[in-house]
Amino acid sequence: MSSEAEAGASVWLLGTRPEDTASGLPAPHSARGVVAVELDGAGEPSARREFDASELPGFVRARAGRPTRFAFSDTPLWYPPLLAAGVTIERSRDLRLAHAILAGAQALAGAPEGRALAAAQEWAAPPLTEVEDLRGEALFDVEEFGSERRRARTKQVPHDIDSALAEYRRQERAIAASAQPARLRLLLAAESAGGLVAAEMQAAGVPWDVAEHDRILAEHLGPRPMEGAKPAKMLEVAQEVRAALGDPRANLDSPPRLLQALRNAGINVASTSKWELREHDHSAVEPLLRYKKQARLLAANGWNWLDEWVRDGRYRPVYVPGGVVTGRWAASGGGALQIPRQLRPALRADPGWTLISADVAQLEPRALTAMSGDRAMAEAGRGRDLYSGLVEEGIVGTRQEAKIAVLGAMYGSTTGESGRLVPRLRTSFPAAMALVDSAAEVGRRGGRVSTWLGRTSPEPDERWREAQARGNRFDASPQDENRARRAAGDWGRFTRNFVVQGTAAEWALAWLADLRLRLAQLPATGGEPARASGPVFERRAHLVFFLHDEVIVHAPLEQAEVAAQAIREAAASAGRVMFGQAPVDFPLDLTVAERAAKG
DNA sequence: TGTAAGAGCGCG
DNA sequence: AAAGCGCGCTCTTACA
């Protein structure tokens, strides 16, 4: 990840043959020919190879061991067939992801090279979604493209070599002309590595114990009912609720009707949400909350979910790297970002393997600490729980208060307990608070802010501007002024949080990128692979899950210790690569699962 | 009959 | 207890 290591890497650009594209085929899915162009340090082609698409895995494999960065249009289209052929890539440039970052980057604002890049609108395409039908298929041989379940994205980036070459050059010129070339390079490398990780994790899948999942469902809901019927335990609880309400026909599944039923029973609520219900002391509340929890489990992660998303003991969600404005990943299908903690026991290593999970304690406040260089905040978090640190330093009374205060500072809350506590942080941590306060001020005025590595927030939309203009007119009504102030405040909280959440996401990407390279260097084990027909990296410890500030690695038992060490070292490395010698640590909570699968 | 919007809740 | 930020998914209801 360091720039010194980058210097020696040669760049190979991959694209489809221009004549294939000209024929109107939906490249690269049905392209026959692939062109690989090697670029020298100045971005000029120094070598060119043309071969059948089936030879691409061999071409990539032949470069293993030499530092090579492969650049291509769109990772979800190029990488899965390589993985299916047992080939992995070390470094890449995803031109679509890179374009999205650079086209919006404030660091290039005003530079003609930046304008030239942003003008290449054909590269501004949204991520591909719902790609499950493509899983495991050799993309280059797929003629039929699209099924009823799959929405092809309406706009595709170009895949031919000429377009890729032109875009790569625009990107290089824009980076060189930017105010922060080193940081942008790091960001693009990390973002692209994230694309590789997402494809690899989807190929590997999360080892999932269907029997354990079914046991949890049965415990809470009862045995699996007939299609369309409600599980027995839900029906029982529903009866309890109706009895307590004194309304034998109350409909618990329709919020408006449930609201009416609650009011008829004398429970004076404005909504049926659980935080409001909890406030009321009525015998119907407890079973109703239980019913809601059951309904949620059934709808979101019940037997239908299991049927659709878990196959052959693997859960394969669809990740969308860069899918959130702040740079966090999104998910599309499978609900990877919302697996309830309740179901965590269903994540179960294969026999002879184990699961190592690690999450960063208080990642966002630590990212804020590092980017603001706030020494007092660094001191409060060094080597300990940051929130406890605040208590020990006498800034707040309890850990809970510390958490409320810190979250309030990052989210911009002004009311209640949080609003009361935030001013204390302003005294104790002036640098950190100045950073988020000024980000909020920029947002309130409609400006843009950037993360540490240079991802820039979007501009507010036309409606927002109109609201401000209307609120500022000499004849603005109180409602106009109110609406404008409210919108300005909303956008200020967004930009306040953007710099923190976005920088934290960059740290997490740097961690992932470094970790996958460390794991790739582990020897293949002589024992059983995770699956008989799995990708090549399933013979060693590999990433299977990532969620904002948490990773899960599936490792052969004999590699558990080295894999855990790799996770820790990658975290330390991510901190150094992003923030240099800033005195901020990123401590991990790391757990090696005790139970492996039966058998 | 099909889509959009809102409610509600899971995750960080 | 939420609040204050960012998401996705399912269900119901409203409306074309």
Q: What is the pLDDT of residue A595?
A: 61
Closest CA to A349 of A300, A377, A313: A313
Which residues of chain A are in CATH 1.10.150.20 domains?
Answer: 366-502
- Strand B positions within 7 A of protein Cβ atoms: 7-12
- Closest nucleotide relative to residue A254's CA, C1' based: C12
> Could you tell me how many residues make up chain A?
599
Distance A501 CA to C6 C1' (A): 8
- Is the pLDDT confidence value at A131 over 60? no
**b/e map of A323-333 (b: 16 or more CB within 10 Å)?**
bbbbbbbbbbb
Place of tokens 């540490």: A452
Q: And the tokens for A570?
A: 């990658």
Distance A278 CA to B12 C1' (A): 24
Distance A299 CA to B8 C1' (A): 12
Closest CA to A320 of A186, A455, A578, A125: A125
Q: Is A574 exposed, middle or buried (0-12, 13-18, 19+ CB in 10 A)?
A: buried
Q: How far, in Å, CA of A103 to CA of A376, rounded? A: 36
Q: And the tokens for A200?
A: 């690899």
Q: Which of A90-99, A309-318, A529-538 has the highest mean pLDDT?
A: A90-99
Question: How do residues A487-525 score in pLDDT, each as one tens digit?
Answer: 999 999 999 999 999 999 999 999 999 999 999 999 998
Q: Average per-residue pLDDT in chain A?
A: 89
- Strand C positions within 7 A of protein Cβ atoms: 1-14
Q: And the tokens for A319?
A: 């990740």
What HEC string does A362-408 produce? CHHHHHHHHHHCCHHHHHHHCCCCHHHHHHHCCCCCCHHHHHHHHHH
Distance A466 CA to B5 C1' (A): 23
Nearest amino-acid residue to B7, taking CA and C1': A255
Nearest amino-acid residue to C5, taking CA and C1': A411
Distance A277 CA to C1 C1' (A): 12
Q: How far, in Å, CA of A109 to CA of A97, rounded? A: 18
Distance A279 CA to C5 C1' (A): 25
CB of A273 lies under 7 Å from some atom of strand B: yes
Concatenated DSSP letters of A409-435: HHHT--SHHHHHHHHHHHHH-HHHHHH
Q: Which CATH architecture has domain A210-310?
A: Up-down Bundle (1.20)
Which carries the bigger pLDDT value, residue A279 or residue A208?
A: A208
What average pLDDT does the segment A227-233 reach? 90
Distance A407 CA to C5 C1' (A): 9
What average pLDDT does the segment A12-23 reach? 80
Residues A534-540: contacts with CB under 8 Å, at least 24 apart: A534/A203, A534/A204, A535/A83, A535/A84, A535/A86, A535/A88, A535/A200, A535/A203, A535/A204, A536/A86, A536/A87, A536/A88, A537/A88, A537/A200, A537/A204, A538/A204
Question: How do residues A58-83 score in pLDDT, each as one tens digit?
Answer: 999 999 888 999 999 999 889 988 99
Distance A308 CA to C16 C1' (A): 32
Residue A458 pLDDT class (50, 70, 90 cuts): very high
* Angle at CA of residue A549, ends A186 and A205, nearest 5°: 95
CB A231 within 8 Å of CB A298:
yes
CB of A359 lies under 7 Å from some atom of strand B: yes
Q: How far, in Å, CA of A510 to CA of A1, rounded? A: 8
What average pLDDT does the segment A551-559 reach? 96
Nearest amino-acid residue to B12, taking CA and C1': A548
- Closest nucleotide relative to residue A328's CA, C1' based: C6
Nearest amino-acid residue to B11, taking CA and C1': A338
Distance A139 CA to B8 C1' (A): 39
Q: What is the pLDDT of residue A28?
A: 55
Which of A3-17, A206-220, A284-298, A313-327 is the least confident region? A3-17
Which residues of chain A are in CATH 1.20.1060 domains?
Answer: 210-310
Q: Which residues pair with A47 in a beta bridge?
A: A38
CB A116 within 8 Å of CB A174:
yes
Q: Which CATH architecture has domain A366-502?
A: Orthogonal Bundle (1.10)
CB of A501 lies under 7 Å from some atom of strand B: yes
Question: How do residues A137-150 score in pLDDT, each as one tens digit?
Answer: 333 333 233 332 33
Those residues whose beta carbons lie under 7 A from strand C are: A 251, 253-257, 274-275, 278, 299-300, 305, 320, 323-326, 328, 330-335, 337-338, 403-404, 407-408, 411-413, 415-418, 490, 493-494, 497-498, 501, 548
Distance A294 CA to C13 C1' (A): 22
**Number of helical (H) and strand (E) elements in chain A, helices listed first:** 23, 14
- Closest nucleotide relative to residue A279's CA, C1' based: C1
- Is the pLDDT confidence value at A461 over 50? yes
Place of tokens 């309740």: A342
Distance A283 CA to C15 C1' (A): 38
CB of A300 lies under 7 Å from some atom of strand B: yes
